[in-house]
Amino acid sequence: MSALATHAGPVTAVHASAYTIPADAPESDGTFAWDQTTLVVVEVEGAGERGLGYTYGDASIGAIATGVLAKAVEGVDALDTGAAHAKADAALRNIGRTGPGAMALSALDVALHDLKARVLGIPLWRMLAAVRDRVPIYGSGGFTSYDNGQLHDQLAGWVGEGIARVKIKVGRDPDRDEHRLDVARAAIGDGVELMVDANGAYDRRQAILWAERYAARGVGWFEEPVTSDDPRGMALVRDRAPGGIEIAAGEYVWREPDALGLIDAVDVLQVDVTRCGGITTALRIDALARARSMPTSIHCAPALSAHAGAAMVTLRHLEYFHDHVRIERMLFDGVAEVGEGGVLVPPADRPGLGLELKHAAAERYRA
């Protein structure tokens, strides 16, 4: 493509496919249990290239992407990701900009950015004006369904890879949680940061009590102590929690107003690139956080999210979530491995995300 070209060619088609992958063991957290995960892949064609994005959710998300969203973006130039996002966002008015609509928009937006970077022949993270070339991660899993051996081995494995922080699920059976913290600490040693995620399992008073107990056991991160639908309660827990523990939430931020609703209630604002509206919205939320001098953390989908994380000024780290790491390695070529110091290094030698769907391997899981 000529360096002086102002048009690459229009987006000509949007495709979607869904794949349901069984978990490698029963999994649960403070408020939910599952034994499988569905990956929804969105691919866009234009300017002689094909871009890829994805989200994790119900297979029905794909129909939104190939329906009203495809109609909105087809014909938009492949370089005009901002215009395409705006048109797709507007097309969701009567469907809803939250939930499945937001997930479809997110996958599409990532695919459009991947397409643009492939047209330009550069890695996506470089196209986004990256502020770093490696993204710190934390190991995440530690499901409440795990026995002591499973919990110990998973956490110790991450530390063995050089990851300096790990997170476990809590809140399903509080009577077991202090023992589980002891198992976790024995697995990781004293020099690794220990984090917990309640997934909204507690009420306000319970969360304040457990914040004190967690802090006393050296936990420095308490995620979703109460439901994110209760920002006043979240703020109360943050204000009453001991000084050594941070309150975090944001994985269900579907759009910018949701981020504003939580930004005054937490110490660290989380962002999910595959839920919030894609790379376009994630970078806007980064700007909101920067205006408040607040750190952010990216939730899940590490192979994709590392590119956005490289461009987020406020980013502290990215969640290296067990299920998503496993699925991305199974179904994509080009997934980055953990680098020295517990980081993901987005590929510098491949355009776009640097990912290719393994169509043959994925077909057996098609939903």
pLDDT in tens, 275-326: 999 999 999 999 999 999 999 999 999 999 999 999 999 999 999 999 999 9
pTM for the full predicted model: 0.97
At residue 7, the pLDDT reads: 85
User: Which among 230, 267, 224 has a CA at the least distance from the CA of 245?
Assistant: 267
Query: Span 25-43, mean pLDDT?
Result: 98
Q: Is the pLDDT of residue 6 over 80?
A: no
Q: Is 107's pLDDT higher than 50?
A: yes
Place of tokens 């950015």: 113
> What pLDDT was estimated at residue 288?
98
Confidence of residue 37 (pLDDT cuts 50, 70, 90): very high
Q: Which of 71, 37, 74, 75 is nearest to 56 (CA)?
A: 37
| Mean of per-residue pLDDT scores for the chain | 97
Q: What average pLDDT does the segment 58-84 reach?
A: 98
**Once rounded to an integer, what is the mean pLDDT over residues 99-122?**
98
Between CA 336 and CA 334 the distance in angstroms is 6
Q: How far is CA 353 from CA 40, 125, 127, 315, 364, in A?
A: 16, 8, 11, 19, 24
- Percent with pLDDT over 70 in the chain: 99
| β-bridge mates for residue 52, sequence order | 43
Q: What pLDDT was estimated at residue 353?
A: 98
Structure tokens, 74: 């087809």
pLDDT at 346: 96
Q: How far is CA 318 from the centre of its chain?
A: 8
Q: What is the rounded CA–CA span in Å between residue 276 and residue 254?
A: 4
In residues, how long is the chain? Answer: 367
User: Over pLDDT 90: what percentage of the chain?
Assistant: 98
Q: What is the pLDDT of residues 12-30, one digit of tens each?
A: 999 999 999 999 999 999 9
How far is residue 123's CA from residue 288's CA, in Å, rounded to a whole number?
25
The model's pLDDT over 132-156, given as tens digits with 9 standing for 90+, comes to 999 999 999 999 999 999 999 999 9
Asked if pLDDT for residue 2 goes beyond 50, the answer is: no
Top-confidence residue, 337 or 183:
183
DSSP class per residue in 133-147: SSEEEEEEE--TT--
Whether residue 240 has pLDDT greater than 90:
yes
CA dihedral (118, 124, 127, 128) positive or negative: positive
Average pLDDT over residues 218-238: 98
| 219 phi and psi angles, rounded to 5 deg | -80, 130
CA nearest to 272, candidates 230, 228, 309? 309
* Helix (H) / strand (E) containing 181: helix 174-188
5 pLDDT band (50/70/90 cuts)? low
